[in-house]
Amino acid sequence: DDITDGVNWLIDQGIADPQRIGIYGGSYGGYATLAGVTFTPDLYVCGVDYVGISNIFSWFSAIPPYWEPMREMFYEMVGD
């Protein structure tokens, strides 16, 4: 909720126009973009995902061998 909380704070402070909020991100930020427009669609006018993970199952099946050590770390952080 950190991004959503930050956007709402900016709106509450009068810094951001709630009618002109967009979200953009790459990699994890792309995932955060997809999550933002999915879970809080009324908050964003638009969203741009650049290489964000949209299907974790296909991502896991496509990771290269040199990323294998990250798989266990990912399971610990996100779950399997």
Q: Which comes out higher in pLDDT, residue 59 or 4?
A: 4
Kindly report the number of other CB atoms within 10 A of residue 35's CB atom. 17
| Domain parsing of the chain, residue ranges | 2-78
**What's the confidence (pLDDT) of residue 76?**
86
Residue 23's pLDDT is what? 98
User: Which burial class, exposed, middle or buried, applies to 40 when counting CB atoms under 10 A from its CB (0-12, 13-18, 19+)?
Assistant: middle
Q: Encoding tokens for residue 61?
A: 């099946």
Q: pLDDT at position 12, please?
A: 98
pLDDT tens figures, 8-60? 999 999 999 999 999 999 988 999 999 999 999 999 999 999 999 888 888 88
State pTM to two decimals: 0.77
Closest CA to 8 of 47, 45, 43, 48: 43
Structure-derived torsion over alpha carbons of residues 31, 34, 36, 37, reported in degrees to the nearest 10: 170
- pLDDT, residue 41, reads 97
